[in-house]
A and B are shown apart, each in its own frame.
Chain A
Amino acid sequence: MSSNDNKWIGESTIRPDGADKVTGRATFAADSTMPGMIWGKVLRSPHAHAVIKSVDTSKAEAFPGVKAVITSSDIVDFPIDTPFPLGIQDMRWMCRNVMARDKVLFHGHPVAAVAAMTEAIAAEACKLIEIDYEVLPHAIEIDDALADDAPILHDWMEFEGKPSNIAGVLEHTKGDVASGFAEADVIIERKFTTRPVHQGYIEPHACLVSVAADNKTTIWSSSQGQFMVRAMTALLTGLSQSDIRAIPAEIGGGFGGKTIVYLEPLATALSKKSGRPVKMAMTREEVMRASGPTSGSKSVVKIGCKKDGTITAAEGTYWLQAGGLPGAPVRGAVGCALAPYDIPNGHTLGYDVVCNRSKVAAYRAPGAPIGSFGVECVLDELAEELGLDPLDLRLKNAAKEGTEAVHGPVYPVMGYVESLESAKAHDHYNAPLGANQGRGVASGFWFNAGGESSAQVNITEDGNVVVTTGHPDIGGSRAGIANICAELLGIDYKRVSVLIGDTATIGFSNLTGGSRVLFASSMVVTESTGKVIRTLCELAAKIWDIDPDAVDWEDGAARPAGANAGQFEPLTLAELAARANETGGPIGAGAQVNTTGAEGGFGTHICDVEVDPELGIARVIRYTVLQDVGRAVHPAYVEGQMQGGAAQAIGWALNEEYLYDKDGKVDNPGFLDYRMPVASDLPMLDTHIIEIPNPKHPQGVRGVGEVPLVPGLSAVRNAVYNAIGVRFNDLPLSPPRILDGLNVPEAAE
């Protein structure tokens, strides 16, 4: 498609949610209230690992103001021996995560919940619940969990015939790495670690649930998928999906962390028991203790090259922390690690390791930054060893159309090489550096995703448009959809109002995740709008009394297709809408599709840092994100995604980490000591949008939102090396670590 002809696609139109958000009118999950509403609170485990020997709720139930108390017996059990997958989750783990059964697996694990007249009464009543724990030794770090004498979290878990904390493995193999390494002139092998990091969404999890006497249930909550909320809540409470109406609130960030439920099933059970609407909201501390971060990892990466830089073999072995229940993002780590490269012999292997931390949840390109980190660091070192520019080394081995990836697929046309070439030509890459400054580059890949989406496009009686889709808008999908629909209809984008439907008003739509929403929802909106245009042409044909095939839709109006069709004045959308009743009836159409063709995305980052050699502080002073986005339907949002991903990567690289005390309790459960970057920590993050349209999408869209997190960890780390000559293989590059690495003599000496 020719982008130059577009009026709205490619315009940074005013975002439809903007006015509400800046004026404070937007309704987030914790903003909903109902008459008769009461408050729910979760009682959480004070131990990192313990057997629950008994639970006595009688005192809490008798406490004045308490309306309901629930424990694991109020949540449906999914037996361990019967897998029950739901999306990327398994209900066996979900039921044990929302409420501990038999055992608590991390400090902060829910063990009971109370609903009472006020939050304070609920909190007080929680303290009256008597739980007899048998405290067990805990394993927080990967090495603790893998040690020979490690406490085993689950007695049913075995690996290679022995009790183990390894929940599973995944590997990809291409060619024969042994013979590939035999051909190499230079081989570098290094060990790496990354820390678990939280998604850091600004809005804590919250919900309001009302269960009526006939079980009809309404859920208002903030999530990355109202249909996921419906399905999981139904399964965990025994309700049928048709009884549940899940209404998505405006969402204050998710980054993957809101692709599962925590509170909704508890509030539903409490509401059912008490007969009252129940509201629950986590504190930041609860978010940090009990909602999913992404995994910490350790890895070993080995890459071999010819003298000219041609990679002959590459190998990566990864251990990812899952938290208390299985499900680390191993697939992203082993799948994305080598994906940007054309490698004849490759092998990646990943282990899913349980430990006594909160269960991980998806986080922006889950696993991919972990997989990529070691690879991009080793490539940086290889380039130096071979005397090659690090971008040239990547260009020499870059995956292109037709490359068979180590993780399997053969790539269609895509713009990885363009991202490298643009980086090389970028004035950032060629700008001089000052004292204590350094520059690093790295590349990254994310799968992106298609999947189920539904849309309905309705023409109002006054000739405007209401589009309903089924995905919470986190990355700007409403603005993008308005642009596309306006483009197709040939009308001003302001005439298109885009809404997020609830589970009762729009067809099934999968999660807002996997960078899939604009890709998938614009496919169903395009199909629905096409049907609407066909209807409009038919109406015009009826009015003109000509064949519908002789009517064209152009510039917002039906027009005779040519001289032969007859001489008629165009009929605009508004005119046709006004005459809809006499010509056929309401105008609208929907589409429901399991979309395919979401091809992977690639990007390259350039990072400059300046290191204070006496304090060990590394500051990012310039940063450029270059990425093939397919088609930038709404460039401001695309840039926002690129910048947001890079900002999160910088935090992961420099400062973010959970600190645990000796009892296995998180010691920094808040933004003061869990150091995400603040605005003043970052320079303006520059973006360079590359558009190689996805041939499998009507507008050429590719997923954008996750790729930009992937290269950032190693871009920062490689820049720090370039600045001070120390290669750090363990994140974060916090000031003490950098100072240790520099080994600067003490002032006292």
Chain B
Amino acid sequence: MTDIQYLAPTTLDEAIRAYAAADGTGHILAGGTDLLVQTQAGMVQPGLIVDIKNITDVTGIERAADGGFIVGAAVAGAALEKHTDFATAWPGVLEGLNLIGSTQIQGRASLGGNLCNGSPAADSVPALVAAGAILSVQGPDGRREIAVEDVPAGPGKTNLKPGEIAVSFAFPPRTKGASDAYLRMIPRTEMDIAVVGCGVNLTIEGGVCTAARVGLGAVAPTVLLVEKAANALIDSKLDDDAITAAAAACSAACNPIDDKRGTVEYRTRVAGVLLKRVVGIAAERAQA
């Protein structure tokens, strides 16, 4: 029944100061599509809400000096979708983000919110992990960079320190023959939560897979980087044996729970199925 204080600062410093001063009762608001739902349901009781959407550092999409992209943590799905260069370079990251919710949700939902919400089933995170995206965070002690796969700490938890705000994601520059893809399994066709999600990022040179990263969601307490699956693909021609081995590595990496959204057995099996399908899509894109 306590009142909620709302701030919408225009600079990162102001936001960090207010957030850090709120002593644990502060919550960052990007799109709010998780935070407001959780507040409404009584799962969180914010004393202070810091809306970061007026801060240009977290809402921009830029090109880095090396040719990679810097995407603000609060950029909404609908805005990123309109960025055609990004869409060409990272179709898998985009499809992970764009799968979230509905048209209305897309107007708000962000990569930063999806990651910082800490859900093991967050749809954009496996693709971000596969992409090798690096998160830049800023807090009372300054800036630091963390690989996306190191951000989640468990359901609803992240490794961000008190007072730290996710600022932007850095995506490495794209080489020729590289692309990515994301697929999730849901019982319905939309408005559902991933039972398994799988992101794959590949580079193919002369018919041989020279680089690969695999991210797997909803099969463990955090989204996983599955290096064994990637290793099974690297240096192969993405033949059946390689893909089967990668699928098996995905299934083996699963450490899911039996819950209302899926059984251990089902999730484990589906992880491998999705890997095969996602590799197929990413490879086709890489060679297009």
Which residues of A does B touch, CB under 8 Å? 120-121, 124, 614-617, 619, 654-655, 659, 667-668, 671-673, 675, 677-678, 680-681, 734-736, 739, 744, 746-749
Contact = CB atoms under 8 A, between A and B. Distances in A.
A735 B191 contact: no
A746 B266 contact: no
A615 B271 CA distance: 10
Interface of B: 1, 185, 187-193, 195, 244, 247-248, 250-252, 260-263, 265-266, 268-273, 275-276
Nearest to A680: B189
Given A667-B260, A736-B262, A739-B266, A678 B190 contact: yes
Given A672-B192, A673-B260, A748 B266 contact: no
Contacts of A616: 266
A735 B270 CA distance: 10
Nearest to B266: A736
Contacts of B260: 659, 667-668, 673
Contacts of B191: 671-672, 678
A681 B251 contact: no
Specify which of B244, B273, B275 lies most central, judged by the most chain A CB atoms within 10 Å of its CB.
B273
B41 to A, nearest CB: 8
Contacts of B195: 735
A747 B272 contact: yes
Given A668-B260, A672-B192, A736-B262, A747 B187 contact: no
A748 B251 contact: yes
A627 to B, nearest CB: 27
Nearest to A668: B260
Contacts of B252: 748
A124 B1 CA distance: 8
Contacts of A746: 251, 268-269, 272
Given A673-B261, A739-B266, A747 B188 contact: no
Closest 9 CB pairs of A and B: A747-B272, A748-B251, A736-B266, A747-B247, A680-B189, A614-B273, A748-B248, A659-B260, A120-B1
A198 to B, nearest CB: 15
- Chief secondary structure at chain A's binding surface: loop
Contacts of A654: 187
B43 to A, nearest CB: 12
A675 B188 contact: yes
Given A673-B260, A747-B247, A655 B273 contact: no
A681 B272 CA distance: 24
A215 B66 CA distance: 78
A435 to B, nearest CB: 16
B192 A747 contact: no
Contact of A748 (B188, B192, B272): B272
A616 B190 CA distance: 17
Contacts of B251: 746-748
20 contacts: A614-B270, A672-B192, A675-B187, A677-B188, A678-B191, A680-B190, A681-B188, A735-B185, A735-B187, A735-B266, A736-B265, A739-B266, A739-B269, A744-B269, A746-B251, A747-B250, A747-B271, A747-B275, A748-B251, A748-B272
Nearest to B251: A748
Contacts of A124: 1
A681 B270 contact: no
A680 B271 CA distance: 24
A422 B270 CA distance: 41
A458 B281 CA distance: 67
B189 A615 contact: no
Nearest to A735: B187
Contacts of B250: 747
A748 B270 contact: no
Contacts of A735: 185, 187, 195, 266
A621 to B, nearest CB: 12
Given A120-B1, A680-B188, A680-B190, 5 more contacts: A614-B273, A615-B273, A672-B191, A673-B193, A736-B266
Nearest to B249: A748
A228 B260 CA distance: 37
A678 B188 contact: yes
Nearest to B252: A748
Contacts of B244: 747
A677 B191 CA distance: 10
B141 to A, nearest CB: 37
A672 B272 CA distance: 25
A281 B17 CA distance: 40
A748 B243 CA distance: 11
A678 B189 contact: yes
Nearest to B248: A748
Contacts of B269: 739, 744, 746-748
Contacts of A617: 185, 187
A121 B244 CA distance: 59
Contact of B276 (A672, A673, A747, A749): A747
Contacts of A671: 191
A681 B248 contact: no
Contacts of A655: 187-188
Contacts of A749: 248
A679 to B, nearest CB: 9
Contacts of B270: 614-615
A166 B273 CA distance: 46
Contacts of A615: 185, 270, 273
